[in-house]
Amino acid sequence: MLHIKCPHCGMRSQNEFSYGGDATVKRPELNKEISDQEWDNFVYNRKSLRGKHLELWQHLSGCRQWIKVERDTATHEIFKTLKANEDI
Amino acid sequence: MTQDFRLDTVGLINRDKKLSFIFNGNNYFGYEGDTLASALLANGVHLIGRSFKYHRPRGFFGAGVDEPYAVVQLYRNNETEPNVKATEQELFEGLEAKSVNCWPSVNFDIGAINNFLKVFLPAGFYYKTFMWPKSFWYKVYEPFIRKAAGLGVASTKHDKERYEHKYEYCDLLIAGSGPAGLASAYAAAKNGARVILAEDKPRYGGTLLTSEVNIGNQTGKEWSENIITELKEMPNVTVRNRSQVFGYYDHNMLVMLEKISDHLPKTKKYHPKQRLWYIRAKEVLISSGSIERPLVFGNNDTPGVMLSSAAKEYLKVYGVLVGKKPLIFTNNDSGYETAIEFKKNGVEPIILDTRKEPNSETIEEAKNLGIQIKLSYVVVAAKGYKKVDSAEIAKISDNKNNLGALENINCDCICVSGFWTPTIHLASQSGNKTKFDKNIDAFVPGVSKQNETTLGAANGKFTLEETLKDSFDAGYELSKKITKNENKILCPKVVEKKKTTHDKFWCVPLPKGKTYKRFLDFQNDVAVSDVEIAVKEGYRSIEHVKRYTTLGMATDQGKTSNLNGLQLVSNIENKIVPEVGHTTFRPPYTPVTIGAIVGREVGKHSRPTRKSPIHYWHEKNNAVFVDAGVWLRPRYYKRGNETLFEGSKREAKNVRTNVGVCDVTTLGKIDIKGPDAAELLNRVYTNAWLKLPVGKARYGVMLREDGIVMDDGTTTRISENHYHMTTTTAQAANVLSHLEYYLQVVWPELNVNVVSTTEQWAGVAIAGPKSRDLLKKLFPKIDVSNEGLPFMGYLEGELFGVHARIFRISFSGELAYEVNVESDNGSFMWEKIMELGKNFEIQPYGTEALSTLRIEMGHVAGSELDGRTIPYDNSLEGMISKKKDFIGKRSLNRKAFVAKDRQKVVGVIPLDKKTSIPEGSHLVKDKNAQLPNPKLGYISASCWSVEFDNPFSLAILKDGKNMIGQKLFAMSPLKNKTIAVEIVSSHYVDPKGERVRS
Ligand SMILES: [Zn+2]
């Protein structure tokens, strides 16, 4: 079980969090004309990275904040955690 | 009564307390402090079971966790447990155990015929045999295998024992209380660290209990007892025996199984049987010791052949002689230590040493005691069927390839020592890349991956002096890192006998013309020849050899067999062991009961049960409950002997004719506040929200980004910047997370707050033509006329002094209202409604009637909004704004979503107007078509229409829009039904929706 440092609450066990996927994916702006390919990339296409990955987690059973976690997908090492509005 | 093989004074058992027990129907006795194994051996019982494949007689091989043979079926307190290791099970008064793998009995075993057929049961026999002919599997092979093979039998009864989970944090977790564990725990604890010390056996001290050493002028045993006593008194130390750290997971999370009651005849009141500890440690010290390796020779699985360390432990700890004419077969000095203990207790051992000219203090002592030693000698084969009665031995050439003349020697046990294998399981589980140490012919931990340090024998350090020095240092240094204290304890002086190097030789060649089986894996009956065949057949990877031969795959996970297996593969392939590599170590290190893993989360404790504040009224009024997610909801209120079908029909009918009341507290409720609240709703829902006036509700549908409908519900504007959103019961939690995601991550600029208020409000639906009349009685001071409270209107008022929110919304399709009051007033509201509703013939209705009402109205719900449908499929395309963007809109023009023959919700009626259509039935054109019959759609929900008094279903049907009036078949292979049906509009009742506006 991972040990994740919530930037709001401190070190907590993984079972308080839920996973939210790739944090680097940006939602296209509303009302903006975009190609099918761009939309598909946003909705469906994800890289299955081995190594450092910036991802979203929600501290579901804690402060309910969405946070960013920089994690190694192979070793589970966590390098950094950030608030949702912070950039690495 | 005396026991033939028990010494009078030696050992740590309590001779004042006799315990009687039953094994295979025979009565025996042992002493407090015995294991089942030591008590049986004291009684001279060596035959404990039969092997898995060949059903060969099985005895005891080890004295603890490494035991490959002695698994038994245990009976305790009217319960039974399979696959208990007799070497680990402590004796208690009245213990009962039986052999496994024996049919019909341990002494006469039909499966032993496999032993004579062994030529037909080589490596991979499971893959090669029992495959053809296919029809034989069910009738012949499976019943035979089930009866003759397999280990113990699981209980079919509900386990009444209690298992607990515990979460713990510490600075240092120390696994194993041998010299390394005790020294490091003591050093760290004295330096102020919070320490957990875990020992899997009942007694602390590990090898100190059996070895002749001195630490600081005390015997090893005395020293260990004093250290433990002191540790137990320290407030920063937790010491646990009978506790096995079996798994090392990510981020220094370890899991430990504490057996609290297994050693007692019966679990004490309020005590758990076992406790599972989840321990998050800053540092982990692995002091798990090492396991002796077998030497491999002919018939080395015969009862009476066992590890020399086990023989020593039985003698020193339990005062039990495993034999009176022991043969010690060794390639290192450890065998001598066992021989010395025998000799000191009046038994004459004979040592066979594979080495030519070994010399050390230990060997010197054996010589001085007058023990007979035969150098460059090997055991070729054990003799005897159910017990060793002699051995075939021979001199071996210096190159170890040639055997001299075979000699027979009398003996009643053979104690083997093939040197030591460090127990590296935990280190390996942590991610440590282990390395091969040529000096000890075994793997040791390499560079640490997590915060783990391996000490002592587990780290390949086999002298006590080195172990204690390393462990005192590690305990101090690691604790200093955490506590910053510098209180250092000096390592005491150690006296131990020196040993010399071991012989790398471990597998005795077969003499010419002999076909003895030489076993590597004793539990799964894997012999040298099996591995040879596997390699010959082309298996190279050790992982493949393992699976093909099943080497190391039994319940002991190859603790005694893995390394010899590796050595053999590398010998055959002329490689060295590190190139072959070892198989992956995975948790658990020892078998863990399912009960312990599940813990308290069984039965109704497996998840929380949520009840509405009106629950107790429902209970008192004969509600039959149904699980709705974690909620308990009334399904119907049973009158007399009514069935679900009859009751729900009565309730639904009453809503259509009079008035009904339904507890809708379980609906998700989200309070939305802030100047940008309307903007958020406008982006989340598919329809327009910016112009909703205060005091009005609106129905909304929300999508996922991929265009699939996520949820629906109504949202009401309470005041300028305040909205009340409702969600379905099932999606309440997901919708809240969804909103939080967009507010926190995607559009943080929106000034809105959302919070769940599901539990703050009790809600009821009042539905039916007489609902307005009832409302007037409930709120006499408020204008609830069609003008005062029009469809989708909202008012606040006082319900007999209680603040209430009144919504004119309808799920049933009837004139209907929903009233919310604060949860504490829920019961009061309900009782008032029932009381005042009497005059209008009110009846409560449950979820079954609720479903009936919405289905015949063609209102989609969870069974249609199932995570696979888009708005069009649910005839919700009218809800989609063309003018604005919203979550998921861009996906709606995907090719499949706009296809001309896109699926759509329709109504379905059986042609006979009698046969109910099972939910999940497929709709097909031709009932006799060849399989697989092309599926046009599926029945999503079925009910008995109370309006028309015939069955009615909803279906999602391909090209549903153009299928109205078509005749199809609904087929349910599960229910074995084929029903001729007609497709009709999904809006079966009140298609124009006039009632809700009336
Ligand atoms: Zn938090």
Q: CATH number, domain at A75?
A: 3.30.2270.10
* A44 within a domain of the structure (yes/no): yes
Q: How far apart are CA B121 and CA B124, in angstroms?
A: 8
- Distance (Å, rounded) from C-alpha B346 to C-alpha B338? 13
Any domain includes A35: no
Centroid of ligand 1 to alpha carbon of A20 (angstroms): 15
Q: Is B746 on the interface with A (CB under 8 A)?
A: yes
State how far the Cα of B896 lies from the Cα of B629, in Å rounded to an integer.
Answer: 32
Residue contact A85–B885, C-beta within 8 A: no
User: Are residues B656 and B673 located together in one domain of the fold?
Assistant: no
CB within 8 Å: B705 and A43: yes
Q: What is the mean pLDDT of residues B808-821?
A: 96
Per-residue pLDDT, B535: 86
Q: What is the pLDDT of residue B696?
A: 98
What average pLDDT score do residues B714-741 get?
Answer: 97
In this prediction, residues B59-72 reach a mean pLDDT of: 91
If we measure between CA atoms, which residue out of B498, B481, B567 comes closest to residue B295?
A: B567
B147 pLDDT above the threshold of 70: no
Per-residue pLDDT reduced to its tens digit, B189-200: 999 999 999 999
Instruction: Clarify whether residues B654 and B781 are in a common domain.
Output: yes
Q: Which of B2-6, B493-497, B552-556 has the lowest mean pLDDT?
A: B552-556
Q: How many CA atoms lie within 13 A of B268 on its CB side?
A: 6
Backbone angles phi, psi at B848, to 5 degrees: -70, -45
**Of B625, B382, B369, nearest in space to B497 by CA:** B369
Distance from CA of B18 to the nearest CA of A (A): 45
Which pLDDT does position B574 carry in this prediction? 78
d(CA B318, CA B10): 7
Beta carbons of B254 and B213 less than 8 angstroms apart: no
- Nearest CA to B344 out of B368, B310, B318 is that of B368
pTM of full prediction above 0.80: yes
Q: Give the model's pLDDT for residue B117.
A: 54
- A30:B746 CB<8 A: no
Please say whether the beta carbons of B284 and B176 come within 8 A.
Answer: no
d(CA B255, CA B165): 10
Question: Which chain A residues touch B744 with a CB distance below 8 Å?
Answer: 65-66, 84-85
Asked if the structure places residue A32 within a domain, the reply is no
Domain contains B220: yes
- The dihedrals phi and psi of B683, each to the nearest 5 degrees, come to -85, -30
Whether A29 is in a domain gets the answer no
Residue B1 has pLDDT above 60, yes or no: no
For residue B562, which phi and psi values (nearest 5 degrees)?
Answer: -55, -50
| Cα(A14) to centroid(ligand 1), Å | 11
In 3-state terms, what secondary structure has residue B632? strand
Distance CA A18, CA A59 (A): 7
Is the confidence at residue B743, as pLDDT, over 90? yes
Does residue B772 share a domain with residue B661? yes
Of the candidates B866, B888, B910, which is a domain's last residue?
Answer: B888
Mean pLDDT over each residue of chain B, to the nearest integer: 93
Scan for tokens 């040298």, then name that residue. Answer: B528
The mean pLDDT value for B514-533 works out to 88
Cα torsion angle, B574, B578, B583, B588, sign: positive
For residues B774 and B648, membership in a common domain is answered with yes
Shared domain check, B975 and B914: yes
Q: What is the pLDDT of residues B769-793, one digit of tens each?
A: 999 999 999 999 999 999 999 999 9
Residue B104: cis peptide before it, omega within 30 degrees of 0: yes
Residue B511: pLDDT band (50, 70, 90) is: very high
**Ligand 1 centre from B724 Cα, in Å?**
26
Strands B350-353 and B372-375: parallel
Chain B residues within an 8 Å CB radius of A76: 250-251
Residue B558 in 3-state DSSP? coil
B191 in a structural domain: yes
How many other CB atoms are found less than 10 A from the CB of residue B323?
Answer: 23
At residue B122, the pLDDT reads 57
Partners of residue B891 in chain A, C-beta under 8 Å:
39, 43
Q: What is the DSSP string of B450-506?
A: SSEEE-GGGGT---HHHHHHHHHHHHHHHHHHHH----PPPPPPEE-----PPPS--
Given an 8 Å threshold on Cβ–Cβ distance, is A2 in contact with B885? no
Give the nearest chain A residue to B883 (CA atoms): A31
Neighbouring residues of B929: CB distance < 8 A, sequence distance ≥ 6: none
Q: In whole angstroms, what is the distance from residue B13 CA to residue A88 CA?
A: 63
Q: Are B827 and B688 members of one domain?
A: no
Q: State the pLDDT at residue B975.
A: 93
Specify whether the CB–CB gap between B82 and B153 falls below 8 A: yes
Instruction: Give the model's pLDDT for residue B145.
Output: 57
Q: Do B706 and A64 make contact, defined as CB atoms within 8 angstroms?
A: no
Judge whether B56 lies within some domain: no
How many structural domains comprise chain B? 4
Alpha-carbon distances, residue B81 vs B156, B593, B595 (angstroms)? 10, 10, 11
**Beta carbons within 10 angstroms of residue B504's beta carbon:** 13
Q: Is B667 within 8 Å of B758 (Cβ atoms)? A: yes
User: So what's the pLDDT on residue B547?
Assistant: 83
Whether B72 is in a domain gets the answer: no
Q: What is the domain count for chain A?
A: 1
Instruction: Say whether residue B251 is in contact with chain A using an 8 A CB cutoff.
Output: yes
Judge whether A41 is closer than 8 Å to chain B, CB to CB. no
CATH number of the domain encompassing residue B694: 3.30.70.1400
Which residues span the domain enclosing B263?
A: 163-290+422-495
> Among candidates B87, B598, B543, which has minimal Cα distance to B310?
B87
Contact B427, B445 (CB under 8 A): yes
Is the CB of B745 less than 8 angstroms away from the CB of A84? yes
DSSP conformation letters of B346-398: T---EEEES-SS---HHHHHHHHTT-EEEETEEEEEEE-SSS--EEEEEEB-T
Among B315, B285, B330, B233, which Cα is nearest to B7's? B315
Residue B394: is its pLDDT beyond 60?
yes
CA A57 / ligand 1 centre spacing (Å): 10
Handedness of CA A8, A10, A16, A21 (dihedral sign): positive
ipTM: 0.98
Same domain for B651 and B778, yes or no, is: yes
User: Which pLDDT value is given to residue B611?
Assistant: 97
Q: What is the pLDDT of residue B603?
A: 86
With a pLDDT cut of 90, the percent of chain B lying above it is: 83
Which of B250, B884, B885 has the CB atom closest to A2's CB atom?
Answer: B250
Alpha carbons B836 and B406: distance in angstroms, whole number: 103
Residue A61 sits at the chain B interface (C-beta within 8 Å) = no
| Residues 6+ positions from B776 with CB-CB distance below 8 Å | B784
Rounded to 5°, the CA angle B296-B297-B302 comes to 100
Question: Strand runs (DSSP E) across B35-162, as ranges?
Answer: 49-50, 57-58, 71-76, 79-85, 95-99
Indicate if B792 and B926 belong to the same structural domain. no
Q: Do the Cβ atoms of B741 and A64 come within 8 Å?
A: no
Residues of B in contact with A28 (CB under 8 A): 890
* Residue A47 maps to a domain: yes
User: Residue B672 — very low, low, confident or very high, per pLDDT cuts 50/70/90?
Assistant: very high
Distance from CA of B373 to the nearest CA of A (A): 52
Tell me if A30 is assigned to some domain.
no
Distance from CA of B481 to the nearest CA of A (A): 19
Last residue of a domain, one of B433, B466, B495: B495
Q: For tokens 């089986």, what's the residue?
A: B517
Contact at CB, A43 and B737, closer than 8 angstroms: no
Distance from CA of B589 to the nearest CA of A (A): 18
- B46: exposed, middle or buried (C-beta count within 10 Å: 0-12, 13-18, 19+)? buried
Check CB contact of A1 with chain B, cutoff 8 Å: yes
Task: Please answer yes or no on whether A66 and B885 come within 8 Å at the CB atom.
Answer: no
Token pair of B840, please?
Answer: 């209008």
Q: What is the CATH number of the domain that holds B192?
A: 3.50.50.60
B604 and chain A: CB distance < 8 Å anywhere? no
For the residues B119-145, what does the mean pLDDT come to? 57
pLDDT at B110: 55
Provide the angle, in degrees to the nearest 10, between the axes of the packed helices B528-536 and B562-572. 40
Residues 6+ apart with CB under 8 A from B690: B678, B679, B682
For B257-277, write each residue's pLDDT tens digit: 999 999 999 999 999 999 999
- The confidence band for B568, taking pLDDT boundaries of 50, 70 and 90, is confident
Pair (B229, B257) in one structural domain: yes
For residue B986, give the CATH number of its domain. 2.40.30.110
Say how far apart CA B237 and CA B19 lie, in whole Å. Answer: 33
Do B244 and B200 meet the contact criterion of CB atoms below 8 Å apart? yes
Give the DSSP H/E element, type plus range, for residue B778. helix B771-778
CB B55 within 8 A of CB B114: yes
Instruction: Respond yes or no on whether the N-terminal peptide bond of residue B588 is cis (omega within 30° of 0).
Output: yes
How does residue B136 score in pLDDT terms, banded at 50, 70 and 90? Answer: low
Q: Which of B449, B704, B745 to mutate: most A Cβ within 10 Å?
A: B745
Digit-coded pLDDT (tens) for B266-321: 999 999 999 999 999 999 999 999 999 999 999 999 999 999 999 999 999 999 99
Residue B918 near residue B979, CB atoms below 8 Å: no
Between A and B, how many CB-CB pairs are < 8 A?
Answer: 55
Residue A71: give the domain boundaries. Answer: 3-24+40-83
Contacts of A75 in chain B (CB under 8 A): 431, 449
A56 at the B interface (CB within 8 A)?
yes
Q: Which of B303, B251, B254 has its CA nearest to residue B276? A: B254
pLDDT at site B129? 52
Task: Return the closest-CA partner of residue B996 out of B767, B718, B777.
Answer: B767
Burial B730-758 (b: 16+ CB within 10 A, else e): bbbbebbebbbbbbbbbbeebebebebbb
Vertex B290, ends B448 and B432: CA angle to 5°?
A: 15
Q: Are residues B882 and B815 in the same domain?
A: no
Give SS3 for B836.
Answer: helix
What is the per-residue pLDDT across B97-119, written as a single tens digit (0 to 9) for each?
A: 998 866 556 665 555 555 555 54
Q: What is the distance in angstroms between the Cα of A51 and the nearest Cα belonging to chain B?
A: 16
Neighbours of B367 (CB within 10 A): 14
Nearest residue of A to residue B756, measured between CA atoms? A64
What are the CA-CA distances from residue B155 to residues B76, B80, B85, B152, B430 (Å)?
12, 6, 17, 10, 34
B697 and B769 housed in the same domain: no
Is B95 a residue whose pLDDT tops 80? yes
Strand partners, B239: B197
- Residue B993 shares a structural domain with residue B913: yes
* Strand, coil or helix: B415: strand
Question: Would you say residue A59 lies in a domain?
Answer: yes
- Verify whether the Cβ–Cβ distance B890 to A2 is below 8 Å: no
pLDDT at B116: 54
Enter the DSSP assignment of B137.
I
Residue A61 within a domain: yes
- The answer on pLDDT for B217 being more than 80 is yes
Question: B746 contacts in A (CB within 8 Å)?
Answer: 27
Handedness of CA B129, B135, B138, B140 (dihedral sign): negative
Give the pLDDT confidence score for residue B620 in this predicted structure: 98
Phi and psi, residue B435, nearest 5°: -125, 155
Best mutation target, A4, A25, A41, A64, to test chain B (most B CBs within 10 A)? A64
